[in-house]
Structure 1
């Protein structure tokens, strides 16, 4: 039976985080250079080649990845797509099991050998394109992955099992990648890693996040640099001076704290105390008074008591993070928590605790947004949606943070450009400007 897949088309489907997205973009550039038509997250993928880039971080993400693979395996069986390849974190972690259980997949690849897909179809990897990507984001912003892996030993986290130890990229490589993207029209860069704080320690024997950020901010055409996923222990305080003094380094920091009670910080193996956490936040806000902090909190880890939850609620109300997300503990096999603790907090209780934290944060976010009414803020326009131009300030990262809505009746506004917007209204999570 003849395949109904479309020849010359490669469909890439990316699940999970922005670090996965960078991997997809690098692979897509290789196929693009070979003359394929490359599509990303198409509405109905039906290419000659379909590649699913999976996430394996927590239970919900694993379930989504498996369901997506099964969906395409069924299409492969029906001859509605051509070759089916799977890559990424889930297949890195469960390569043998997946290969046995889903034989419809032509081949599984891990997190780091996915360029071997090219060999499988009789093509060669082009090393001269290693710093190039086919962007899936709007042309004006991009994610820059500065390292892989993680050396931390948090009790709940499977990332080190999947990605291995921390490996920093060379500063010069990152500079050259950014220069190439600037030449193609990119103005805004999100620096990402599993652990920004540790950047440089393995390769240069000292923390280099501040130096890297300075050097990138010196590149002409870089208008915004934003930092994601710092770790609180051994925090590189010299980055704060760079943030304060460089106009194109956004006053924004994503730093996952997870909890605040000493009981839970100990059980989670975070190597920091409650007092040190408060000191860290105070120091950051003293050094960069205008900073917006994003954090993530973990609820329902084994051993968490109602007293721990109350302490966390008080922390959230006292510190008043500008941006905050919370998620429930997922008992991941192979982790310290999986081997050491009993996962005896019911899922419903975990989710209720998450909801309580997010309810507090909704009130805080609304109050912080109200303080911005009457202010004029620099805004990058991402897209047009219904009757609004949708943009972001330096305090807002794509996909996860509040947006600024400007009526499309406003003259002269264009996607991918910066504009000054005067804020005239605010909701819990969005601003309205003109």
Structure 2
């Protein structure tokens, strides 16, 4: 059994959920390191680990995420009971939403903190919250890319979504703060920034009284050394189309847009409270492809929302076939307490949700293969993420880390470094990956 310590000297920060959670964990790590703590990120769950304090940053988005968060908390609660760690703290979305239940159900946890309670968490660790570090951040991703959270919270009222319950109202960071953060990250080796928020297109409405994402993009393009800027999580209703003008004009802004559409049936969209129709969505996607030729559009759809009929699902399938999205993901509806949709009967059986998700992804798989095969013979700019055995693995400007396609390059007789940007001629394609060779 470990020897107990009077003051914790090493902290393991465990991150679950999305990239927005990852940024929160990076801010926790930055503050702790400034207070002379030794910190690790996602240390070993099993086996020997000399961290004596664990902070679990939880996700509470859907049932599967909640289950993973609770199982992780229980794992470390068991370690605490065995004397393998001294202290266990829980933060993040699940803690924000279910603090009272968690306190009662898992008493081994020393304290629970919400999504905006970093100063309180630090105080429990006898660490000072250092305001001068705002804008600086230790990153846990590979050194050449990082996520930049431009706002917090969401003012949308989508029927199925619990994020506003966990993250609060939309709050933007100033352009000056974000540029300073970008400059700090680039100074430390970052070449690519993924701009993230619960809702990108709302950026600036609270502090500038207008949608200011185009102004932010232009300001970030002025950061010397930054190569790529990527946009994640834009909302289709009343989408500010001047964003696309900036994308077309600024080489640093990747021809890539992550715009979760959720559905294509007008009746389902109405029940989802998405404030947009299929016709409006089609017009927006066609406009984006006209203004930014070659743009890669990533979207996600939600199947099994209360009331979704087979006919409405088939409308969605037809829409996917028609629009031929470059990147696509599918979620199954999760019946979340305190959301608007929770008042509806969860009337689509679990097996039907799963079958519909699989059917939609099968359609997309064929589309993805066809679109990838069209790239054979083209030369694309690629950033190198890692080396797997005898293959370098990279991405084009049309791909975000972890969720999109990769480019594989034989490492035989070639030496590349992580973060290198190289030209690759594509000579083979599969459903979700490309293969190629270096060219000058």
**TM-score, length-normalised on structure 1?**
0.98
Moved runs in structure 1, 4+ residues, more than 6 A? none
Per-residue Cα deviation, 1:169-189 (whole angstroms, up to 9, x for no partner)? 111100100011111111100
1:38 aligns with 2:42: no
Q: Distance in 1 between matches of 2:110 and 2:51?
A: 14
Partner of 1:236: 240
1:125 aligns with 2:129: yes
- Tell whether the 8 Å contact from 1:197 to 1:231 is kept in structure 2 after alignment: yes
SS at 1:284 equivalent: helix
1:3 aligns with 2:19: no
Per mean C-alpha deviation after superposition, the further-off stretch among 127-136 and 424-433 is 127-136
Cα displacement (A) at 1:205: 0.7
Matches within 5 A, 1:76-91: 76-91=80-95
1:156 aligns with 2:145: no
Q: Distance in 1 between matches of 2:20 and 2:281?
A: 27
Cα displacement (A) at 1:118: 1.8
Partner of 2:195: 191
2:172 to 168, 173, 188: 168
- Tell whether the 8 Å contact from 2:2 to 2:85 is kept in structure 1 after alignment: no
Per-residue Cα deviation, 1:292-350 (whole angstroms, up to 9, x for no partner)? 000000000011111111111110001000000001100000000002x1001100001
Cα displacement (A) at 1:270: 0.5
Per-residue Cα deviation, 1:195-220 (whole angstroms, up to 9, x for no partner)? 00111111111000111011101111
Cα displacement (A) at 1:2: 5.1
Partner of 1:284: 288
Structure 2 unaligned blocks of 5 or more: none
SS at 2:52 equivalent: strand
Per mean C-alpha deviation after superposition, the further-off stretch among 19-28 and 33-42 is 33-42
Per-residue Cα deviation, 1:393-423 (whole angstroms, up to 9, x for no partner)? 0000001001001111142321111011111
Matches within 5 A, 1:258-407: 258-339=262-343, 341-407=344-410
- Tell whether the 8 Å contact from 1:251 to 1:394 is kept in structure 2 after alignment: yes
How many residue pairs were aligned?
A: 433
The verdict on how the C-alpha distance between 1:355 and 1:4 changes in structure 2, with shifts beyond 3 A counting, is farther
1:138 to 137, 142, 146: 142
SS at 1:204 equivalent: coil
Per-residue Cα deviation, 1:346-374 (whole angstroms, up to 9, x for no partner)? 00001100000000000000110101111
Structure 1 unaligned blocks of 5 or more: none
Per-residue Cα deviation, 1:13-58 (whole angstroms, up to 9, x for no partner)? 0000000000000110111122222111122454121100000000
- Tell whether the 8 Å contact from 1:4 to 1:80 is kept in structure 2 after alignment: no
Q: Distance in 2 between matches of 1:171 and 1:415?
A: 29
**RMSD (Å) for aligned C-alpha atoms:** 1.3
Q: Distance in 2 between matches of 1:410 and 1:138?
A: 24
The verdict on how the C-alpha distance between 1:2 and 1:299 changes in structure 2, with shifts beyond 3 A counting, is closer
1:48 aligns with 2:52: yes
SS at 1:351 equivalent: helix
- Tell whether the 8 Å contact from 1:27 to 1:133 is kept in structure 2 after alignment: no
Q: Distance in 2 between matches of 1:210 and 1:111?
A: 28
1:428 aligns with 2:431: yes
SS at 2:361 equivalent: helix
